[in-house]
Amino acid sequence: MNFFELINMCLYELNMKQIINFEEPDSDNLAEIKQIINNINIRICKTCLNNNYFFSANEHGKYCKEMVMPADKSIIPYGLGDKIIIYGACVEYTRNPWHSKFAYWLNNYYDGINLLNEFIRNLK
């Protein structure tokens, strides 16, 4: 998923209004969600992938530090990063273990981390 899709999936999971156009003015909530998505992506790239330099790539394949543009993508292997980033962002955004979906999000986040670690082990 690209940055735009990740944002909308987080908004959907959080039961918030999704964005139609990436150029819409950021509300405080949207700006916070964008930052959380990048923070999680950076954390996973550093800890699981042992990558301290580049954490995303733009639509032309050029590596960059953060996802900024709608088409930017995480460098976490396809399919694994989406689950980690979306559910991790929901957990970090709500920070409320009593939220009705918190356990679901947390379980999916950890499941994604475990799948990524297994994928990495199988590469070695």
Average pLDDT (82-95) is: 96
Backbone angles phi, psi at 80, to 5 degrees: -85, -40
Model pLDDT, residue 97:
94
- Residue 29 and residue 31: Cα distance in Å, rounded? 6
Q: For the chain, what are the domain ranges?
A: 3-15+28-123
Maximum Cα–Cα distance across the chain: 44
- Residue 86 and residue 80: Cα distance in Å, rounded? 11
Look up residue 71 and give its DSSP letter. T
Model pLDDT, residue 5:
96
Question: pLDDT (tens digit, 9 = 90+) per residue, 2-30?
Answer: 999 999 999 999 999 999 888 777 788 89
Host H or E run for residue 42:
helix 28-47
